[in-house]
Amino acid sequence: MPIEVRPATIFDDIATMVGPKKPTSNVCWCLSYRIPSKQNQELVREQRGEFVKELCDSGIPLGVLAYDEADEVVGWAAVSPRADTSFARNRKIPHVDDLPVWSVWCIRVRPGHRKQGISHALLAGA
């Protein structure tokens, strides 16, 4: 099955992959390493999705999405320059170097699409 990986800029597709089934649920939305810890804890329920929508509207991709041959979103990888993540500011994670590398911290593949190489395609696309 051919998989196409694209920058994650479409809110509805991101919501399909990392949003809650119920809008009032308190789920990650892959924000935990993208924003400071205090802000991450303050954003709850619908606020989390609203914040992700604002990030999408900025035009900066939040990661990458995988699409199948029917153009259905089937995978997600959160990716960002390491310097823009909480990895770079966390006192518990040892500072390794200052190289301008990118970090991937979350990969999700929808049920029914697993074991088809989608995570490999997401990493290659990231």
How far is it, in rounded angstroms, from Cα 37 to Cα 35?
Answer: 6
Q: Say if domain 4-125 classifies as CATH 3.90.1570.
A: no
Q: Is the pTM of this model over 0.85?
A: yes
Cβ–Cβ under 8 Å, residues 52 and 29: yes
- Nearest 5°: the CA angle 7, 76, 110 is 140
Q: pLDDT tens for residues 14-61?
A: 999 999 988 788 888 989 888 888 898 899 999 999 999 999 998 889
